[in-house]
Amino acid sequence: MSTPRRVGLVGWGAIGRVVGAALSEHAIPGAELTCVIDNRPLGDTVPAPQLSFEEALERCDLIVEAAGQNVVREWGERVLGSGTDLLVASTGALTDEALAKRLLATGPGRVYFTGGAVGGLDLLQAVRSLGPLEQVRLTTTKLPSTLEQPWMDEGLRSRLRSATEPVEVMSGTARDIPVKFPKSTNVAASLALAVGDLDAVRVRVVADPGARHTRHVVEAASAHGAYRFEVAHLPDPENPATSQVVPYAVLRGLAALAGRTGQIL
């Protein structure tokens, strides 16, 4: 692109700080950090002006969400309706099918999604064009402390805290699981987005006290082939609920949107 993408970054947490630092250091040719949006006063800790969402939409042509599913629900349509593009990291918000349909239908801004901590989604999207995928399964394994949720009863919390071996915390579909674990299972929603069916993706969430890495195993089959992807990432030391690689997946998406050549699409 002849003119740089003017990027507004929502969220200055474990993901946002890495993305913001890279943009401010001009690590992504064709993209510049125009502002940061966060509901906390950040002062001089950020390398760009801290603006409100309304101000950001006047100055930016691309908003990067790195702050959680509620941001997508509250602001996604307004961003796109203003003519500003949106790159979503918290794909778990897309388990709300009505919201997903509205985002895909709203413009003139365009919505994009990052695969985050899992690979192979581009291949599954290609295979889906040949026909429906069957037996799509995801097993996510994380440290027990990253999976505790306010809705859990004391019995389940006690099982997690006292576990000495892997414990299945919950199983269900990609429609159900990201709602229960909003900060830990965006991978399930991303996989369902690639497959095109929330209910076709069966998800197991496992707590493992010995898990040095966060692990995602994707298994899928169709009439045209069988597919298995396994990834193991170190958790982010500041926010163990997310993997260290996630902000770099966001940066890769930004590079593609900014027109970097040599990208695998």
145-174 pLDDT per residue, tens: 999 999 999 999 999 999 999 999 999 999
Question: What does the pLDDT read at residue 237?
Answer: 86
Question: What does the pLDDT read at residue 38?
Answer: 93
Is the pLDDT at 183 greater than 90? The verdict is no
49-90 pLDDT per residue, tens: 999 999 999 999 999 999 988 999 999 999 999 999 999 999
Mean pLDDT of all residues in 198-219: 94
Angstrom distance (rounded) from CA 76 to CA 231 = 29
What is the residue whose two structure tokens read 């992807």?
A: 229
Catalytic residues: 216
80-129 pLDDT per residue, tens: 999 999 999 998 898 888 999 999 999 899 999 988 888 899 999 999 99
How many H helices and E strands in the chain?
Answer: 9, 10
Strand-strand pairing, 225-233 and 62-65: unpaired
Contact call for residues 110 and 85 (beta carbons, < 8 A)? yes
Question: What does the pLDDT read at residue 214?
Answer: 93
- 30 is written with which tokens? 């064709």
Domains and CATH numbers, the chain: 5-116+245-257 (3.40.50.720), 121-233 (3.30.360.10)
- Residue 2 — pLDDT band, cuts 50, 70, 90? low
Is the pLDDT at 1 greater than 70? The verdict is no
Q: Is 232 helix (H, G, I), strand (E, B) or coil?
A: strand
- 83 is written with which tokens? 């003519």
- 219 is written with which tokens? 């298994």
How open is the CA angle 82-88-91, to the nearest 5 degrees? 130
What is the residue whose two structure tokens read 């790195």?
A: 66
pTM summary value: 0.90
Contact call for residues 191 and 175 (beta carbons, < 8 A)? no
C-alpha 244: how far from chain center:
12
